[in-house]
């Protein structure tokens, strides 16, 4: 009989050649093999076209506790959703492929599962957090965005966009299928991430899931996937759509 999985680590990917060269997945496995709980890694690929999918397949074959999901290119929200719903763990973490927040930071989140929190999120803004090597304009964008988020959707959370979030299996299986703005993404041509984290946390709050924000260590990694002006405008519009959907009674909570 297979032991029940305690922690699923869901890692979305899209054209990750550069990050694979940094051996980030090896570091993830190295950390997990030292833990005393059952774990799995779910690599959820968003239709990569740079050859990295071949390397992910080889990595999954090499490691029995790693599974690879091959998804059509529909963006990060759909890719994370596929991974979180395919996961088997009692607790399910999604974390960025570049490991801007190293997986070892999970040790800061896990103590809160004993305090009846079912959504535990990493924060780069709380006292005690470390935020390294980030350009000033990216930080400014994040702060302005968070002010809007707190006014319109999720008051009280300082950082909704950190890609390091832990959910109980119940929370994951309840929340991800309810995504509306980000729940029906069509085939994309770009690498837009969007504000699906905001919609998730908005739903968690409305459905009464206890949310805990925890300070973590985060290091900025340069990327050409972010278009500061265009992406910011689209994210602001998506937040407005979340609010409008709620006012119109479209969320079946």
pLDDT digits (tens, 9 = 90+) for 143-197: 777 777 777 788 889 899 899 999 999 999 999 999 998 877 666 666 666 789 9
What is the average pLDDT score of the chain? 88
C-beta of residue 205 within 8 angstroms of C-beta of residue 117: no
- 174-187: per-residue pLDDT in tens? 999 999 988 776 66
Greater confidence (142 vs 2) lies with 142
What's the half-sphere exposure (Cβ side, CA atoms, 13 Å) at 183?
Answer: 17
| pLDDT at position 1 | 37
**C-beta neighbour count of 68 within 10 angstroms:** 17
15 pLDDT higher than 90: yes
Fold of 7-247: Spore Coat Polysaccharide Biosynthesis Protein SpsA; Chain A (3.90.550)
Separation CA 178–CA 242 (nearest Å): 12
What is the average pLDDT across 221-238?
A: 69
Task: Name the E strands within the chain.
Answer: 7-13, 39-46, 66-71, 91-95, 119-123, 130-132, 164-168, 211-215, 217-219
DSSP at 103: G
Q: What is the pLDDT of residue 195?
A: 82
The ranges assigned to domains in the chain are 7-247
Q: Which residues have CB under 8 Å from 248's CB, separation 6+?
A: none
Average pLDDT in the 67-89 region? 96
């Amino acid at each position: 009989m297979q032991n029940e999985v305690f922690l699923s680590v869901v890692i979305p990917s899209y054209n990750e050649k550069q990050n694979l060269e940094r051996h980030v997945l090896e570091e993830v496995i190295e950390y997990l093999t030292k833990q005393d709980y059952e774990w799995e890694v779910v690599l959820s690929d968003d239709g990569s076209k740079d050859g990295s999918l071949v390397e992910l397949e080889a990595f999954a074959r090499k490691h029995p506790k790693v599974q690879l999901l091959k998804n059509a290119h529909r963006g990060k929200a759909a890719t994370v959703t596929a991974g979180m719903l395919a996961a088997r763990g009692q607790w399910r973490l999604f974390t960025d492929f570049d490991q801007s927040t190293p997986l070892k930071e999970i040790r800061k989140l896990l103590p809160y599962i004993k305090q009846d929190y079912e959504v535990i999120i990493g924060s780069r803004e709380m006292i005690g957090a470390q935020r390294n090597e980030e350009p000033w304009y990216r930080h400014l964008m994040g702060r302005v965005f968070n002010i809007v988020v707190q006014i319109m959707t999720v008051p009280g959370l300082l950082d909704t966009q950190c890609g390091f979030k832990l959910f109980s299996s119940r929370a994951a299986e309840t929340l991800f299928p309810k995504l509306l703005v980000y729940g029906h993404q069509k085939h994309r041509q770009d690498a837009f991430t969007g504000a699906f984290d905001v919609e998730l946390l908005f739903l968690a709050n409305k459905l009464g899931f206890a949310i805990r924000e925890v300070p973590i260590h985060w290091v900025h990694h340069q990327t050409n996937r972010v278009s500061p002006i265009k992406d910011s405008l689209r994210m602001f519009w998506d937040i407005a759509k979340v609010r409008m959907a709620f006012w119109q009674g479209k969320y079946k909570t």
